[in-house]
Chain A
């Protein structure tokens, strides 16, 4: 991976190379709620190494999206600092493609906003579509694509930003199981081909284990890092692999314990 040539964006301490794709240090976030300020994230410290695939796992409402939005720079932490190597790309559960543009033009808009010269945009967009195996989709409108295809175009658009860090917020949660499974394979392939760093949010334990090198479990109310697992199972994995299942059982137990604590008082 070409991380040695990385240019720093927000972090000034290390001017030559950034040893991380994202560095989250003592980050807290609270929102003004009906009952005063509600602490959603409490003292989160997490590094994503260059080229690393980390999944952030937690129950619904534990603050996963909040954290991802902070890393993406869409919101500011109440306390703590976040450093990223350039502006990260972000993919949502909703494809968030612009329906007034074709698939190809959606990607070209990302290229344009990145400053790619006009003549280079079309070939680059076609290359990216090929990367997500959608060669024929350039002129297709969003409504002509299936859910899985839309998420692949959204992935291609995110890749068009040429970021070193890809943030994904439950991007496959709305897809059917078969399509999701295929997209897991695709994402793994693309991650390995591009050397991207990925911070992937999910509430699905198997998905987390299937994809990640490291699984970070977030507790709820407030969101804290409860535990981490390093996943040693070699890629390519399958979601139904025994090793994946075994680790999933262990993590699920832990997650259930976390959730149970909230019912006790």
Chain B
């Protein structure tokens, strides 16, 4: 118990080494100083990366890769491994792009693809959201179609192209069918995972603060799903950010509280296979091993598999809060984002 607490000796040492003499009443100023020292020693150093560092570490590698591809491409052209019409040189392709830009057709091409993607995404959102809610909330529905949804998600969209062409022909509806078959399960599963993963601790903390019912849905559940600017951007770019989760997991221990329940609903964390998608329909979630949270706090800190809506919420937030947007250039943009 406490008398055998390993910390006691240490504590005595601190007093002797500190400026307060042992046994003297603690001087409040000294406490503040001690605390400031602890904070400085103990807090996680989050260095703002300099522009130069960002360039070197984030921009340089992809630029190098692209340059390399261009070089290899040009080399192959010079070596004449394939006839001109099969392998045009980079400069020819660039000329074509320039041409269509000048003629105004390039934007058309791009717009066709983008609008298709956007429309498909919106439709998928409209279908996937209620579907996800249903699966998350209704046990029967979950048991019925949950596994199917997960299965569909692990199927690459491209796999749908041949049957879609057979049934629908080569046209827009076939495109949409493929997009929807890929996106709807992802969206629904993302939502299910997001709802599932709300750690009971957050709900309890919220409740003691007075967030119940609708306020809980808004300030805790929805807020968590939208995940804040960083999380949302991470989702948008599909970049898992494991470092952040790690740092403070090191010191956390898993101690389920009574309301968190040692019952069957306690979430278990099982190390997953790297690269596996989280499967929301199983009680233990698979995550890439390096993202594995270490307990209740881990689950709390780890990013929820976000609903795509969160991307929008996030964009709005980022645009509203970004300093550069308060400049004259940004004002229209931020108004746009406030719609």
Interface residues, chain A, CB within 8 Å of chain B? 65-66, 69, 72, 74-75, 87-90, 92-96, 98-101, 109-110, 112-114, 133-134, 141-150, 157, 161, 169, 174, 176-182, 185-186, 189, 203-208, 236, 238-240, 245, 248-249, 252, 255-256
Q: Flag if A87 contacts B210 (CB, 8 Å).
A: yes
Please tell me if the beta carbons of A114 and B258 are within 8 angstroms of each other in the complex: no
Instruction: Give the chain B neighbours of A238 by CB distance below 8 A.
Output: 15, 23, 26
B1's partner among A69, A149, A150, A204 (CB-CB below 8 A) is A204
Q: A114-B210, A146-B42 are in contact. Are A69 and B259 (CB under 8 A)?
A: yes
Q: Is the CB of B38 within 8 A of A186?
A: no
- Chain B 198-232, CB within 8 Å of chain A: the 1/0 string? 00011011011111000100011001101110110
Q: Which residues of A contact B44 (CB under 8 A)?
A: 143-146
Checking A66, A90, A185 against B208 with a beta-carbon cut-off of 8 angstroms, the contacting residue is: A90
A100-B224, A113-B215 in contact; A143/B244 too (CB < 8 A)?
yes
Chain B residues near A207 (CB, 8 Å)? Answer: 2
Which among B10, B34, B209, B224 is the interface contact of A113 at CB below 8 angstroms? Answer: B209
CB < 8 Å: which of A99, A113, A249 contacts B301? A99
Name A186's contact: one of B6, B35, B42, B297 (CB within 8 Å).
B35
User: Does the CB pair B252–A174 fall under 8 Å?
Assistant: yes
- CB-CB under 8 A from B15, the residues of chain A are 238, 240
Instruction: Assess whether B25 is in contact with A236, with CB atoms less than 8 Å apart.
Output: yes
Bound-complex Cα distance A96 to B14 (A): 29
Are A143 and B34 in touch, CB under 8 angstroms?
A: no
Taking a contact as CB atoms under 8 Å apart, the answer to whether B38 and A146 are in contact is yes
A240 and B12 contact, CB distance less than 8 A: yes
Per the bound structure, the CA–CA distance linking A87 and B31 in Å amounts to 31
Known contacts A92-B257, A94-B296, A143-B44: does B10 contact A178 (CB below 8 Å)? Answer: yes
Does B38 lie within 8 Å of A178, measured CB to CB?
yes
21 A–B pairs (Cβ distance < 8 Å), ordered by A: A74-B204, A92-B205, A98-B220, A100-B231, A113-B210, A113-B211, A114-B209, A144-B46, A148-B38, A161-B208, A177-B7, A177-B8, A178-B10, A179-B38, A181-B7, A182-B34, A204-B2, A206-B3, A206-B8, A238-B15, A252-B2
Instruction: Evaluate contact between A182 and B38: CB separation under 8 angstroms.
Output: yes
Contact A100 B227 (CB under 8 A): yes
> Which secondary structure dominates where chain A touches chain B?
helix
- Indicate if the CB atoms of B3 and A248 lie closer than 8 Å: yes
Contacting residues, chain A, for B42 (C-beta < 8 A): 146-149, 179
Q: Say how far A134's CB is from chain B's closest CB, in angstroms.
A: 8
User: Which of B7, B230, B231 is the most central at the interface, judged by chain A CB atoms within 10 Å of its CB?
Assistant: B7
Interface residue ranges of B7-24 to A (CB < 8 Å): 7-8, 10-12, 14-15, 23
Residues on A with C-beta less than 8 A from B35 are: 133, 148, 182, 186
Task: Please report whether the interface of chain B is mostly helix, strand, loop or mixed according to DSSP.
Answer: helix
B278 to chain A, nearest CB (A): 18
Contact status B32-A133, CB under 8 Å: yes
Could you tell me the distance between the alpha carbons of A218 and B150 in the complex, rounded to whole angstroms?
Answer: 48
What are the 7 tightest A-B residue pairs by CB atom distance, in nearest-first order? A177-B7, A146-B42, A96-B205, A100-B228, A206-B2, A205-B2, A113-B210
B55-89 with Cβ < 8 A to chain A: none
Chain B nearest CB, measured from A194 CB (Å): 15
Given A146-B43, A186-B35, A240-B15 in contact, is the A96-B3 Cβ separation under 8 Å?
Answer: no
CB-CB nearest in chain B for A102: B228
**A93-B28 Cα distance, complex, nearest whole Å:** 26
When distances are taken between beta carbons in the complex, the residues of chain A under 8 Å from B26 are: 185, 236, 238
The residue from A95, A149, A185 contacting B39, defined by CB atoms under 8 A apart: A149
> Are B3's CB and A249's CB within 8 A?
yes
Q: In this assembly, does B52 line the interface, its C-beta being within 8 Å of a C-beta of chain A?
A: no
Residues from chain B with a CB closer than 8 A to the CB of A245 are: 3
What residue in chain A is nearest B246 (Cβ atoms)? A143
Q: Which residues of A contact B202 (CB under 8 A)?
A: 96, 98
What is the minimal beta-carbon distance from B97 to any residue of chain A, in angstroms?
Answer: 41
A147 touches B257 (CB 8 A): no
Docked CA distance A72–B39 (Å): 31
CB distance from A177 to the nearest CB of B (A): 2
Q: Digit string of B30-53 for contact with A (CB within 8 Å is 1, else 0)? A: 011011101100111010000000
The answer to whether A109 and B219 have CB atoms under 8 Å apart is: yes
Q: Is the CB of A69 within 8 A of B7?
A: no
Q: Is the CB of A178 within 8 A of B14?
A: yes
B10 neighbours in A (Cβ, 8 Å): 177-178
- The residue in chain B whose Cβ has the minimal distance to the Cβ of A208 is B2
A66: nearest residue on chain B (CB-CB)? B258
Q: Kindly list chain A residues whose C-beta atoms are within 8 Å of the C-beta of B11.
A: 177-178, 181, 239-240
Name the distance in Å between A193's Cβ and chain B's nearest Cβ: 11
Q: Are B3 and A147 in contact (CB under 8 A)?
A: no
The minimal Cβ–Cβ distance linking B17 to chain A, given in whole angstroms, is 11
A142-B215 contact in complex given A177-B10, A206-B2, C-beta closer than 8 Å: no
Q: Which of B242-290 contact A (CB under 8 A)?
A: 244-245, 247-248, 251-253, 255, 257-259
Given B12, B224, B230, B259, which contacts A74 in the complex, CB threshold below 8 Å?
Answer: B259
**B207 to A74, Cβ gap below 8 A?**
yes
